[in-house]
A and B are shown apart, each in its own frame.
Chain A
Amino acid sequence: MNITEICARSGWEILTKSEDHAVEGIFTGDLLSWVMGHAPVGSLWITVQAHANIVAVASLRDLAGIVIAHDVNIEQETIELANTEGVCLIKAPQSSADCVKILAGYGL
């Protein structure tokens, strides 16, 4: 399943203009030091961290994209950097746990 299809089904908003990516799994975590060391390549990362550093972490781990959960405010700097780096940012109103449940419902 790819990002566009996931967002069409869930109603989540894509905030960036990056190209579509295939999602190979789900990863959650809010400690960036931990995510940087552990997130599997190709996974969709769900977090409540919205600092611009999430973009570098996603880029480094070659993640499919980042779901910023729980309607957390996202600074413009984060969105601009994600556009520059080609990292897909998605905004979701649900908690991280509920985002996981939704994605699991799609068979991920």
Chain B
Amino acid sequence: MKEDLHIHSALSPCADDDMLPTNIVRMALLNGLTRIAVCDHNSVANQIALKQAADKFGLNYGFGVELQTLEEVHVLGYFETVEDILKMDEWLCEVSDPAPNRIDLFGNQWIVDQDDTLIKQHSGSLIRSLNASLNQCVSRIHACHGKAVLAHVLGRSNGIIHQLAFIPKNLAIDGIEVNEIGQKQELIEKFPWLANVPFFLNSDAHRLIDLRDADETDWLDDWEILWRKRE
């Protein structure tokens, strides 16, 4: 399956302001993708609008979020139902830093509807770490029936290897995201217990032109494998 499971919408301060539901869905379809998941930083405020836009155009959609833990590790949470993301949202409100966003420094945090209408700015600063450790974030994702995937693990900013030096053997992780296909083998050699864990290659797109394209040659695991609906 040709999927891109890590895209940012205009809610993420670092993403372009035109990362709006219809734009993202139409770009994904233009690129020949069969499913997308948008994972904004520390918030699920645009998830329902994104799902509605994807439904309207017949594109599969997976609910997602990218959490920044106290250790400044980025971990992706994926969910199947609206109820689960609403449960996640309640918890995110509890553990989010209440400090206001500085738009001049960090960028806009647009909450939008399915027709790309700008509704309001998310007030809290989404670039800050949650008041929750990596273990607590993974546990909470699981408590909300979600799957936890370590984001860009060999990335130079906020990947687990950079922040915490290695992937702990006892971390209850459901998947690993890499930036290039060769990193999968490199990681399995270093951490053999990852051999049976699904691996994902996503764009982490903050701009429309960065979404994955079905013409690309490198693909790893997909949404159904993450949820163990297919081996």
Contact = CB atoms under 8 A, between A and B. Distances in A.
Contacts of B133: 50-51, 73, 75
A53 B168 contact: yes
B71 A33 contact: no
A31 B168 contact: no
B165 A57 contact: yes
A53 B135 contact: no
B164 interface: yes
A103 interface: no
Interface string A61-102: 000000000001101010000000000000000000000000
Interface of B: 70-71, 133-135, 161-166, 168
Contact of B135 (A31, A57, A75): A75
Contacts of B162: 31, 33
Contact of B164 (A51, A75, A77): A51
B135 A32 contact: no
Contact of A33 (B70, B135, B165, B168): B165
A57 B165 CA distance: 8
Contact of B166 (A35, A49, A50, A56): A56
A52 B136 CA distance: 13
B125 to A, nearest CB: 19
A56 B167 CA distance: 11
A73 B135 CA distance: 13
A60 to B, nearest CB: 9
A49 B164 contact: yes
A22 interface: no
29 contacts: A31-B162, A31-B163, A32-B163, A32-B164, A32-B165, A33-B161, A33-B162, A33-B164, A33-B165, A35-B165, A36-B165, A49-B71, A49-B163, A50-B133, A51-B71, A51-B133, A51-B134, A51-B135, A51-B164, A51-B168, A53-B164, A53-B165, A53-B166, A53-B168, A56-B166, A57-B165, A73-B133, A75-B133, A75-B135
A81 B133 CA distance: 17
Nearest to A60: B165
Given A53-B165, A53-B166, A72-B70, 17 more contacts: A31-B163, A32-B163, A32-B165, A33-B161, A33-B163, A33-B165, A49-B71, A50-B70, A50-B133, A51-B133, A51-B134, A51-B135, A51-B168, A56-B165, A57-B165, A75-B133, A77-B135
Contacts of B166: 53, 56
